[in-house]
Amino acid sequence: MKTEKASLLVKGNEAIALGAMAAGCECYFAYPITPQSEIPEMLSRILVEAGGEFVQAESEIAAANMLLGATACGKRAMTSSSSPGISLKQEAISYMAGSQLPAVIVNVCRGGPGLGSIDPSQGDYYQSTRGGGHGDYRTLTLAPASCQEAYDQTIQAFDLAFRYRNPVVVLGDAILGQMKEPIQAWKERAIQDSRGLSWSLSGARGRKPRLLKSLYLSDGALAGHNRLLQEKYQAMRVECDWEAYKTDDAELIIVAFGSMGRISKSAVRQLRERGLPVGLFRPITLFPFPDEPLAKLAEEGKRFLTIENNAGQMVDDVRLAVRRQSDSELYSVLPGILANPTDLLEPIQRVLHT
């Protein structure tokens, strides 16, 4: 339900918290870490006031497992963290993928490896799109680039999680988390019926007991389970989403996601003003990756330059997508460096003119 509301000037982290509220999130579990602490700080107030459950857990491990328990009951539930904490959550995410639980996990990514820094980074692209933990599984991954998208995509994350009974990752970074922009908080909070679901746990009164598990020991059972999961991941491809900006008449297409997508857009605009034929392709879903539209652009003879705030991760997916006709160059802004449009102008022109 869309309602016309006054704009709010909020940080990306706050937009995520507001999105979770609007989506009807009833349980939230987390452990503090910069640069996402505004999410638990805000939810500790507004979620509790709305009658929801807020637990500051003893660790990210515990928080992710609380999420496992709450989603097993069919509740809309969420955890959020930043890179080191997301590493700790991976075991539970793997279990939730295996047990087909609709969890929402927000990663406001920071520089790594190790303790790294609290600077913006896109270093967790592989982790988010390849599963991240053990076993052959995938998490749907959304990459918002503005505070409005952070709000909208958090709502969407809950819908997708339940549509596919699968963990969904919202992958932002410190720029998105700390930046303020006006948003339209268009959605009224509505609570989903968690008992009406065919799989959720509530006690077996009047029905057969239900079991949510990821252990499959009997002959052939695990292969069957994995087949089912893989079919599900294939089915998710209809969710592919992206933004194409001035790609039609471009010779060179910049591929960049999240904050880097925005920064690249400014660079593309400046180069367009100088008459240079460049465009931007910004994947919004990172898994499933929008490879078909990229392949189509490759068929049209475009060239590609992937720009990332990491050492080059998404470029693998771009290369796979365009491999039949083309390839992609890489411009890497290493975590620890704050990217800006000016720094991108020269590398883009260099690739354009080769």
Which letter, b or e, does each residue of 11-49 get, where b requires 16 or more Cβ atoms within 10 Å of its Cβ?
bbbbbbbbbbbbbbbbbbbbbebebbbbbbebbbebbee
Please say which residue, 113 or 182, places its beta carbon nearer to another protein.
Answer: 182
Among 22, 42, 43, 66, binds another protein (CB under 8 A): 66
- The residue among 230 and 340 lying less far from another protein, judged by its C-beta, is 340
252 binds another protein (CB under 8 A): no
Query: To the nearest whole angstrom, how small is the minimum distance from the Cβ of residue 255 to another protein?
Result: 16
Residue 228: CB minimum distance to another protein, A: 17
Phi and psi angles of residue 182, each rounded to the nearest 5 degrees, phi first = -70, 140
Contact status, residue 245 vs residue 282, Cβ threshold 8 Å: yes
Rounded Cα distance, 172 and 244, in Å: 20
> Taking the alpha carbons of 53, 59, 63, 69 in that order, is the dihedral positive or negative?
negative
| 340 binds another protein per the rule CB under 8 A | yes
Told to check if 325 binds another protein by CB under 8 A, we report: no
Q: Is 138 among the residues that bind another protein (CB under 8 A)?
A: no
Cβ nearer to another protein, comparing 232 with 269: 269
Out of 50, 191, 201, 276, name the contact with another protein by CB under 8 A: 201
Look up tokens 């060179």; give the residue.
Answer: 252
In the three-class reduction of DSSP (H, G, I as helix; E, B as strand; rest coil), residue 50 is classed as coil
The answer to whether 165 contacts another protein (rule: CB under 8 A) is no
Cβ 328 to another protein, closest distance in Å? 21
Closest to another protein by CB, 68 or 315: 68
Q: Of the two residues 32 and 295, which places its CB atom closer to another protein in the complex?
A: 32
Compute and round to an integer the Cα radius of gyration of the chain. 20
Q: Can you tell me which of 187, 262, 302, 303 binds another protein, judged by CB under 8 A?
A: 262
Identify which range of 62-70, 234-242, 249-257, 294-302 contacts another protein by CB under 8 A: 62-70
Instruction: Tell me how far apart the alpha carbons of residues 56 and 65 are, in angstroms, rounded to a whole number.
Output: 13
Burial 187-199 (b: 16+ CB within 10 A, else e): beeeebebeebee
Among 114, 196, 206, 220, binds another protein (CB under 8 A): 206
For another protein, the closer of residues 92 and 305 by Cβ is 92
Helix, strand or coil, per DSSP, at residue 118: coil
What is the SS3 assignment for 245? Answer: strand
How many angstroms separate the CA atoms of 243 and 231, rounded? 26
Query: Is residue 64 a contact partner of residue 94, using CB atoms and an 8 Å limit?
Result: no
Task: Enumerate the β-bridge partners of residue 78.
Answer: 28, 104
Candidate ranges 199-207, 231-239, 288-296, 324-332; the one touching another protein (CB under 8 A): 199-207
**Which CB atom, from 48 or from 320, has the smaller least distance to another protein?**
48
Closest CB to another protein among residues 92, 142: 92
Binding region for another protein (CB under 8 A): 7, 9, 26-27, 29, 34-35, 53, 55, 57-59, 61-63, 65-75, 77, 91-92, 95, 99, 117-118, 174-175, 178-182, 194, 201-206, 209-215, 259, 262-269, 338-343
